Structure 1
């Protein structure tokens, strides 16, 4: 049955069976140049769940942008039921400059739920919470590792939500990681008002990785299929599916010395106590420090930086 429910987003009436490209416009650059954030909305002919696909909340985390771009380009975001809202470059200011932060130096993902009388990042967060978030039921918030840290594909969820665990298993990333919600993050703010957010981590900043992109795209199709938004049976039949590994806790191993870092392990690998992670050495051939795994676990994150300082995080080790 064709939907008759009225939906209005950013002042535009969203009709069943239609696609809209709207602009979220809240600020200008210091040159008075208008900066608009494209919001792509596709509504099915039948009512159903509303899914937000959100990327680029940190402007230099490009792999999430690529995942949403591919979903749009392949027209996977056209639902038969419900509605898909895509914001590929939420922090378009950072995206333009290939930087993590907003122009005011704030981390947008530490600025929610925001305030109309706060900093630029806070104003933007408040606009997002007032104009977009009320319409969504579910969200996949795409991220990458910061700096040169490469994250294996993982869905991060809070420990106290059976529904989120079910959805994370449906998405079927390599890992499901129990992670507390950061203060003033988008995930925390959305969850506090009853929205279900899956935080996808994969890859590293300023980088594309085809394996991570494929995981993100495939996971989104699985999620939409599970929610009854569109039948992806043919696409799903071609995908390899293996059980997601649930990480109950994790630790970061840090460099005891600064120097040149060469790693010998692959992200996602199961490693045993005593296995060699890599070597830190000086540039002059005077010393080499071997880094070994302290206990059995999975490598869920790995520093790809060739130069590290004492105290730098070099490997994220997760435990079932």
Structure 2
């Protein structure tokens, strides 16, 4: 395989004791291709003269989730990192291997966000996770991890947080995405491992992998600014265009049989019990059956795969507290 590589990582040394009010870039070597080419992760930082919290902004944990990468690109290009207080650490593309290979995983087939806290000499995914936990997380107070739906999953803009934790709840409310989803920690995720060290990481999910969507990017940028204002890092931020909807419980509606799938419900819409979410039919015009909502709910995500198998997750729906 072209991207198979030596597991031994080159030496690296992060340095955040740098001149304030200046953007700094550090290229951190993480591995080599068999050709000897060094793979580096560019990490940017900016520190104001006034003291304040340190925020991590990162994308590309999954290499095919491009909307987050574009959000990070705009943050740097538009100099949105120039805070009045505190420090911003930015990682536009964390999983460089997945990014250049249009892949969610690293070349060993593992998901970096299921590999935390990682180990120095483990799998490649584990080594990436170990680097982040050892070299970045100790320096931060808060973070926003920009994500996109998995393969062919279109997520309506949403943030995920532990709402029984006041710091996380405050970040989620400040971000003010259209949906705030109460999301328990997942084992071996960055959010869980950082939380063990008292670091609050907010996860933003929007749109579909390998596709750029303006609304998802705009919501991410606006939410990031609102979080910075909430933390008193900047003075102004956009006012939300709608009141966020808090989802306490969510579930997936799954295909009852295999066939062709046509979604009819609009992403982000409220649907009532019995409303048609989509239709599953066979390829030969002999079978057609609607999928109906089992309860009043909001549509949070839609699987855009037109060919489905029985049991495939097709609609992620959530209910609000009664």
**TM-score for the superposition, normalised by structure 1:** 0.93
Question: What is the CA-CA distance between 1:204 and the residue it aligns to?
Answer: 1.3
SS at match of 2:69: helix
Separation (CA, whole Å) in 1 of partners of 2:280 and 2:205: 27
Displacement of 1:26:
2.0
> CA 1:54/1:262 → structure 2, altered by over 3 Å: closer, same or farther?
same
* Cα distance in structure 2, aligned partners of 1:284 and 1:111: 44
Structure 1: how far apart are the matches of 2:193 and 2:66? 23
Cα distance between partner residues in 2 of 1:156 and 1:12: 29
Alignment partners' CA distance in 2, 1:86 and 1:240: 24
Hey, what does 1:314 align to over in structure 2? 314
Pick from 186, 195, 202 the counterpart of residue 182 of structure 1.
Answer: 186
1:288 paired residue number = 288
Q: Tell me, yes or no, if the aligned pair for 2:118 and 2:128 is still in contact at 8 Å.
A: yes
CA distance in 1, matches of 2:16, 2:251: 47
Q: Does 1:25 align with 2:29?
A: yes
- The alignment covers a number of residue pairs equal to 308
- Per-residue CA distance 1:114-143 (angstroms, 9 max, x = gap): 111211111121111111111111100111
Query: Structure 2 stretches of 5 or more lacking a match?
Result: 1-12
2:127 pairs, out of 120, 123, 127, with 123
Deviation at 1:30, TM superposition (A): 2.1
Distance in 2 of aligned mates of 1:266 and 1:31:
48
SS at 1:103 equivalent:
coil
CA RMSD of aligned residues (A): 1.3
4+ residue segments displaced more than 6 Å: none
Q: What's the offset of the Cα at 1:240?
A: 4.1
1:252–1:315 CA contact under 8 A, matched in 2: yes
Distance in 1 separating the partners of 2:80 and 2:20: 17
After superposition, residues 2-21 of structure 1 pair within 5 angstroms as 10-11=14-15, 13-21=17-25
Unaligned ranges ≥5, structure 1: 1-8
User: For the Cα contact (< 8 Å) 1:16–1:46, is it kept in 2?
Assistant: no
Distance (Å, rounded) in 2 between the aligned partners of 1:276 and 1:201:
25
Paired residues for 1:222-233 under 5 Å: 222-232=226-236
Distance 2:55 2:15 in 1: 19
Match of 1:163 in 2: 167
Partner of 1:273: 273
Does structure 1 retain, via aligned residues, the 8 Å contact 2:176–2:240? no
Deviations 1:171-215 (A, max 9, x none): 000111111111111111111001011011111111111111111
Partner of 2:218: 214
Q: Tell me if structure 1 keeps the 8 A contact 2:16–2:45.
A: no
Greater shift in the superposed pair: 86-95 or 153-162 = 153-162
